Amino acid sequence: MVKAILSKTADVVIIGGGISGCTIAYNLAKKGVKNIVVVEKSYLASGATGRCGAGIRQQWGTEMNCRMAKYSCDEFERAKEELQYDGDIEFKQGGYLIVSSTEKEHEQFKKNVKLQNSLGIPSKLLRLDEAKEIVPFLNTEGLVSATFCQKDGHLNPFHTTQAYANAAKRLGAEILTFTEVTDIIVEGGKVKAVKTTKGDISTNIVVNAAGGYAQMIGKMAGVELPLFSERHQILVTEPLEPILDPMVMSFSLNLYCQQVPHGGFIMGRGDEGEPRDLRITSGWHFVEEMSKTITKLLPPLKNARFLRQWAGLYNMSPDRQPIYGPVNEVEGFYLAVGYSGHGFMLGPATGRVIAESILGEETTLPIDMLNLDRFKEGKLIFEPSVV
């Protein structure tokens, strides 16, 4: 099905057709940029976006993650209308109930809620009896406290990405699927072109939004990025009658679980033994640990049937916050990478700030705090709240 080999020029080439690539294309197009090309090696949302846990939350532990997540959630609330999408993005604000299981974690939660409230995020610290009012069958044995934010919730990653992609296309952006980037041509410290399996695209601006493959794209432009990709696994049960409104999550127990609007329970957990070699095969150890831990926390799930498991890549940065903006060494090379497992939910903020950064505008959120040079300067603020 390979069509005629490309030979074209673009104002901006975006590498990666996940949520970030599509929101960046949409925001650039909305600001009037005409000649935008998104290059995706497979189909839209085929990588980390389409493999994620489909949750969105604002309950973070660093100011930047909180601000980007809040901005994104506010936009998600308007997305269906703004993007004029025919399908259903399955937006649900059932909240996130995050439980602590140690005193130390409880102390961190107090700090988190204070920070979140100061930024306008309506989260609250709960006693365990209050948590049980939200999830009556929650087994609180071994737990200390919880935090809850009603505005957190769920979105379908495939439809949401498609909604942004369709809107970008209506505004003139071009999306090339099943087209793989093979090299980036840099001359005199400036981006000149992108080579793909379907031909070359001359351009002065390239955005790296390649998710789990971001470090390889960086190398193509001669830029070493302090990233690695780690497999994370998820399983889903058969669809059941709705019994669980919020996402239930724990950082110390290292798990999350949400009943999606379709009825299935999606659950995942992290594991230090996960491979970091780009494998996204399925592991059995995950299923055993997942079923043991989740049925203890949410006992009615004992009777749910496990249907399918899958895996995707977390693109981990040293402080578990994204790396945004221009690369000083290579003019025209921009980064939207290193989401450390939460790139989907930050999609709208990513699109906005990267588009502004490319156009030389003042960014809505202060992304200079998230530039690549922060690692050289040792200015790291670690995100404590990641599964």
> Which residues would be at the binding site for another protein (CB under 8 A)?
1, 43, 45-46, 50, 87, 158-159, 162, 236-239, 262, 273, 275, 279, 281-285, 287-289, 291-292, 294-295, 301-310
CB of 238 to another protein, least distance (A): 6
H or E stretch covering 26 = helix 19-30
Cβ neighbours of residue 166 closer than 8 Å, sequence gap 6 or more: 83, 85
Sign of CA dihedral 373, 183, 160, 283: negative
Cα distances (angstroms) measured from residue 183 to each of 147, 191, 255, 326, 338: 46, 11, 38, 19, 20
Q: How far is the CB of 370 from another protein (least distance, A)?
A: 30
**Quick one: 111 or 285, whose CB is closer to another protein?**
285
Name the residue nearer to another protein (CB basis): 224 or 238: 238
Residue 226 or 283 with smaller CB distance to another protein? 283
Shortest Å, Cβ 264 to another protein: 8
Neighbouring C-beta atoms of residue 3, cutoff 10 Å:
8
Q: Residue with structure tokens 């005409």?
A: 34
Cα separation, 126 vs 98, in Å, equals: 10
Specify burial of residue 120 (Cβ count, 10 A radius: 0-12, 13-18, 19+).
Answer: exposed
Task: Name the residue nearer to another protein (CB basis): 81 or 86.
Answer: 86
Pairing label, strands 6-9, 199-202 = parallel
Nearest residue (CB) to another protein, 274 versus 356: 274
The distance of closest approach from Cβ of residue 130 to another protein in the complex, given in angstroms and rounded to an integer, is 27
Measured from the CB of residue 93, what is the shortest distance to another protein in angstroms? Answer: 22
Tell me if 350 sits within 8 A of 322, measured CB to CB: yes
What is the nearest approach in angstroms of another protein to the Cβ of residue 286?
9
Burial 83-117 (b: 16+ CB within 10 A, else e): bebeeebbbbbbbbbbbbbeeebbebbeebbebbe
**Secondary structure of residue 353 in the 3-state scheme:** helix
Report, in Å, the least distance between residue 41 CB and another protein.
13
Residue 294 DSSP code = H
CB of 77 to another protein, least distance (A): 23
**Shortest gap between Cβ of 154 and another protein (angstroms)?**
15
Ramachandran bin of 49, using left for φ above 0, alpha for ψ from -120 to 50, beta for the remaining angles: alpha
Q: What is the DSSP string of 95-143?
A: -EEEEE-SHHHHHHHHHHHHHHHHTT--EEEE-HHHHHHHSTT---TT-
Cβ closest to another protein, residue 305 vs residue 376: 305
C-beta closer to another protein: residue 146 or 294: 294
